[in-house]
Amino acid sequence: MILPIYAYGSPVLRQKAEPISPDYPGLKELIANMYETMYSSNGIGLAAPQIGLPIRLFVVDGSEIDEIDPVDFKQTFINPIILEEFDDKWSFEEGCLSIPQVREPVSRHAKLRIRYQDEQFREHEAVFDGMAARIIQHEYDHIEGVLFTDRISPLKRNLLKGRLSNISVGRVNVSYRMKFPKSR
Ligand code: NI
């Protein structure tokens, strides 16, 4: 089932999300719905707060984004903890399904080490780099209540103010289902 994506301005996008346990109701179906929602909106990552749930869960599939350096990974991250971020920072233009039609360069560390649980709640610890690391950092921010627009310069954020407030009231053209926090 395709779920509506919560738009910029929704309070749930600003909450620090809570860990979940294996008995979280309907988890398997929820994860399937999150993948379906992500693919139908051409996203490469989707975090639970973006569908209105303040829980520590996100899905990523970056297998098709980079032809030169294919990121062959599709992964569900449950209760993740980024243990460290390291290596030089690099800048890349990011977007977000909750903030349609806005793209800005964001500077992030090239590598990270993360501990997480998979769909069977098996624990993993792994190092990611390149685009995989970037997607994880962006989605991880979501479960911490952080958006990529928080990571751009105050000057650029100021320039985006009008567009961001338009998004929060639904004044934006978007091809997928969204839920806007404020009506006009
Ligand atoms: Ni996002």
Judged by DSSP in three states, 63 sits in coil
122-180 pLDDT, tens per residue? 999 999 999 999 999 999 999 999 999 999 999 999 999 999 999 999 999 999 999 99
* DSSP 3-state of 42: coil
3 — pLDDT class (breaks 50, 70, 90): very high
Ligand 1 centroid – CA 112 distance (Å): 18
Question: Is residue 157 within a helix (H) or strand (E), and if so which, with residue range?
Answer: helix 154-168
How close is the Cα of 49 to the center of ligand 1, in Å? 10
Both ends of the chain: CA-CA distance in Å? 28
* Domains contained in the chain, CATH given: 5-179 (3.90.45.10)
Structure tokens at 106: 């964001």
- Residue 121's φ and ψ, nearest 5 degrees, are 60, 25
Q: Ligand 1 center to residue 167 CA distance, Å? A: 14
Lowest-confidence range among 62-66, 106-110, 128-132?
62-66
| Ion ligand 1, residue ranges at CB < 5 A | 96
